[in-house]
Structure 1
Amino acid sequence: MALDRARYLLSQSHADEPSVDGRRRRGQDSRARIVQAMLDLVREGHVSPSAELVAARADVGLRTVFRHFKDLESLYREMSGVIEAELLALAETPFKATSWRERVLELVERRGWAYERIAPFKHASEVHRHQSPTLALDNAKFVAGARDILRRELPASLADDRDLFEAIDLLLSFDAWRRLRRDQQLGPRDATEVLQMSIQTLLRQAERG
């Protein structure tokens, strides 16, 4: 009897596997749709999309959104992961330039390209950063990583020049790019040229001094 009972339970377990796998796949699909909905809404300019709006765009119930993500902080974490992957791919792309000076100027073009892609997400993150540990940490990592890249490309003598380094780092920041693009209404090409000219001027002054 015990052996027959064991065989019965085993057969039922195997019978339930397709159902379990189906639920898991549906859950994964819902999660992916929710994350994509969040990304799409932010990309369209919704700096603070509500859970209701995310649910409507993902075509899932509001309860499903909260089941996968207990709060919006979890959604921000998923969104940050996608953004980080894009920036990492850019950071790992080899430079075209060969000299350090040309690579520093190429950084302007590379940052400009990246900033154009992530601008909606940066705008959204700045709105929520004060109340989101995830966004605050991601911003700190972004700034630190950008500074490390600049320090790596500059000659040691210039990288150790605090005033010069901080000035160039400022010119390569998202804040400088946003000011030129949004407030001064320059196109990407013109914004790039203004920043490159400014950095070249700083480098020439530093080398003469």
Structure 2
Amino acid sequence: MSSAVRQRPQAAIVEPEAPAADGRRRRSQDSRARIIRAMLELVREGDLSPSAELVAARADVGLRTVFRHFKDLESLYREMSAVIETELMALVRTPFKSVTWRERVLELVERRSWAYERIGPFKRASEAHRHQSPALALDNARMVQISREILRGQLPPELARDRVRFEAIDMLLSFDAWNRLRRDQELTPRRATEVLQAMIGGLLDAPPEG
């Protein structure tokens, strides 16, 4: 018998596919980020309802790529809603500078005025589509409730229970009131803030209901 040792054939070396897969994933993530950025840019420029075609052109991607990442435009509007929520929640987490409850309520006007100026275009676009979008309607309802609870937490109990004054103050702190003063009445941000603080200050000092 031959004493030669029969050697096993070496297994073929399989090149890993991870680099290619990672590359595709990065390209997909980049496309998605560009689409979102394009959407936000168009809204910020005043287009409340940018079409998928405009979004694709601004993002420099194909129309099919837009719909591959987002089944419909409502998904894009959800991204816009996330921008609104991020700005507003940043205010929620910011401590008040004022000491007394009355000063804190008036500080709320300044804080929301600052936020409304930043999110104004996105909020207007959201309002334009909210009645057709369950997701946007839900997001809006949640932020309205959070805003009301913030106000309630700064008021003394007797004033928080005063239904008429509470609802009036809450309305004056809303984006709708700010938007009316800024766009329809054409007031500057500073003047709009002064008007709201004067009105809310009068309500804070008014006699209790009934």
- TM-score (norm: length of structure 1): 0.92
Q: For 2:189 and 2:99, how far apart are their aligned partners in 1?
A: 24
Which residue number corresponds to residue 126 of structure 2? Answer: 125
> Any runs of at least 4 consecutive aligned residues in structure 1 with deviations exceeding 6 A, and if so which?
none
Question: 2:73 matched to 1:72?
Answer: yes
Q: For 1:128 and 1:94, how far apart are their aligned partners in 2?
A: 33
Structure 2 gap ranges (5+): 1-7
Which digits, 9 at most, give the CA deviation of each residue in 1:98-128, with x for residues without a partner? Answer: 1111000000000101111111111111111
Which residue number corresponds to residue 3 of structure 2? Answer: none
Do the aligned residues in 2 keep the contact of 1:150 with 1:169 (CA within 8 Å)?
yes
Which aligned pairs between 1:102-113 and structure 2 lie closer than 5 A? 102-113=103-114
- 1:73 alignment partner AA: E
Do the aligned residues in 2 keep the contact of 1:100 with 1:153 (CA within 8 Å)?
yes
Which digits, 9 at most, give the CA deviation of each residue in 1:8-49, with x for residues without a partner? Answer: 4x724x2x1100000001100110110011011001000000
CA RMSD of aligned residues (A): 1.8
SS in 1 for 2:186: coil
Structure showing greater Rg: 2
Shift of 1:83: 2.2
Q: For 1:82 and 1:205, how far apart are their aligned partners in 2?
A: 37
Which aligned pairs between 1:43-62 and structure 2 lie closer than 5 A? 43-62=44-63
Do the aligned residues in 2 keep the contact of 1:164 with 1:206 (CA within 8 Å)?
no
- TM-score (norm: length of structure 2): 0.91
Q: For 1:130 and 1:201, how far apart are their aligned partners in 2?
A: 34
Q: 1:4 to 1:103 in 2, by over 3 A?
A: farther
Which residue number corresponds to residue 171 of structure 2? Answer: 170
Q: For 1:207 and 1:98, how far apart are their aligned partners in 2?
A: 23
Identity, in percent, stands at 71
Which residue number corresponds to residue 98 of structure 1? Answer: 99
SS in 2 for 1:186: coil
Structure 1 gap ranges (5+): none
Shift of 1:172: 0.5
Which aligned pairs between 1:131-142 and structure 2 lie closer than 5 A? 131-142=132-143
Do the aligned residues in 1 keep the contact of 2:84 with 2:123 (CA within 8 Å)?
no
- Higher-helix-fraction structure: 1
SS in 2 for 1:11: coil
Do the aligned residues in 1 keep the contact of 2:151 with 2:170 (CA within 8 Å)?
yes
Q: 1:31 to 1:4 in 2, by over 3 A?
A: farther
Q: For 2:104 and 2:49, how far apart are their aligned partners in 1?
A: 37
Which residue number corresponds to residue 27 of structure 1? Answer: 28
- 2:58 alignment partner AA: R
Q: For 2:51 and 2:38, how far apart are their aligned partners in 1?
A: 11
Q: 1:4 to 1:138 in 2, by over 3 A?
A: farther
